[in-house]
Chains A and B, each alone.
Chain A
Amino acid sequence: MLEKDLLIRIAYLVASVLFIIGIKMLGKTSTARQGNSLSAVAMLIAILATLLDSQVLSLTEIFVTILIGSAIGAVIARRVEMTSMPEMVAIFNGFGGAASVLVAASAYWALAHTAGVSMDAVVSVTVVISIIIGAVTLTGSLVAFGKLKGIINGRSVTFGGQHALNAILFLSTIALSVMVVLEPNEEIYMLGVIVIALLLGILTVIPIGGADMPVVISLLNSYSGIAAAATGFVLNNQVLIIAGALVGASGIILTQIMCKAMNRSLTNVLLGGFGQTKAG
């Protein structure tokens, strides 16, 4: 192993430990703020380490992009009203999901268009997982944002055959995913997966009432962690897998705690419609 690679690996290990301590501290009132700062430091370490990667050659473009993104992110996050925090979390979470889709699509594109290189099964399976979960996170979060903002009807939107439609879409996603794995060079299957997953995200969140949105955002947050972990398999990157799995697992637990606090079960919230007693 090259010395630089070793340094990157050690930095990733340090970042992973700080993420774990950070989340732990976020769960206690007295230490929550330091916990958040600690996890921000961990993120910075992971980013700096990745910039040393031998695959990363265009530092100028990367710096400019990060600078623009940070400026926009900081301004939005500072200006937003305290009462609109949940929708802010939703929209940022949606961006995270979109980023996972794009990273996986980028890796897919590079492999599918390199002559003579066949895509191996692990990569194509994890690319598909990352794209599906990332896409559901993106549109699901946007609908949650819209409901909280009042752009989309905050009440439960249901129509006949909704569950059947979702089931059909879900099954066609699986079928198309199998085709992607079997025929990785046929882009049409991949495009189909993306489009249907985007639709699925909208349709699964739209029947849920506005009052239940925090639970939904928490669940979608957990999804974006799982999508990040899948991206880690695509790129063979351990810090992506660790941080993604931490968010994915702790997000599910947090979602359950939030459901319990409302005296509801998660299935009850997700199936929508029924949950209207509380909202309406």
Chain B
Amino acid sequence: MNAETLLVLLYVLVLASFVGFELISKVPPTLHTPLMSGSNAISGITIVGAIVAAGPQDWSMSKGLGIVALLLATLNVVGGYVVTDRMLQMFKKKKK
């Protein structure tokens, strides 16, 4: 990786981290668990990396690891979003 690419990626990392720090403030306690669950689903973004790792045409150890990664990441993403939605759904009904 050349220095220029690395620098661009570092810019992205630092700025995105600052956005993340600023994003959350004064969250009501009832939303703590759903927020945690919702951001857990977002951390399933590893699925993008898993797709690339599972990408090669020919089977190899590397691709095998990618496929297992893809399975686990999919569980994280789908399970994470569904669970969060169920929590928030219940929350809404309670309010009414």
The interface of chain A, by Cβ under 8 A from chain B, is: 16, 19-20, 22-24, 26-29, 32-33, 35-37, 39-40, 43, 46-47, 50-51, 53, 55-58, 61-62, 65-66, 68-70, 72-74, 76-78, 80, 82, 85-86, 88-89, 92-93, 95-96, 98-100, 102-103, 105-107, 109-110, 113, 120, 122-123, 214, 217-218, 221, 224-225, 227-229, 231-254, 257-258, 261
Contact = CB atoms under 8 A, between A and B. Distances in A.
A35 B87 CA distance: 13
Interface of B: 1, 5-6, 9, 12-13, 16-21, 23-57, 60-63, 65-92, 95
Contacts of B40: 89, 92-93, 96, 221, 224, 247
Contacts of A254: 24, 27, 32, 35-36, 39
A106 B63 contact: yes
Contact of A32 (B13, B55, B91): B91
9 contacts: A20-B19, A27-B31, A39-B42, A57-B55, A98-B69, A99-B44, A99-B69, A250-B21, A254-B39
**B interface, by DSSP: helix, strand, loop or mixed?**
helix
Contact of A103 (B18, B31, B69): B69
Contact of B51 (A16, A56, A68, A123): A56
A40 B74 CA distance: 12
A253 B18 CA distance: 11
A34 to B, nearest CB: 9
B18 to A, nearest CB: 7
Given A43-B41, A238-B9, A37 B23 contact: no
B21 A253 contact: yes
Contact of A51 (B51, B79, B81): B51
Contact of B39 (A23, A53, A82, A102): A23
Given A93-B43, A261-B32, A26 B60 contact: no
Contacts of B67: 61, 65
Given A23-B23, A224-B46, A228-B45, 13 more contacts: A20-B23, A23-B20, A29-B91, A32-B34, A62-B51, A73-B75, A99-B73, A113-B62, A217-B36, A218-B32, A245-B16, A249-B17, A258-B32
A248 B20 contact: yes
A21 B20 CA distance: 11
Contact of A99 (B36, B56, B72, B82): B72
Given A102-B53, A247-B20, A92 B79 contact: yes
Given A110-B62, A237-B48, A58 B55 contact: yes
Contacts of B89: 33
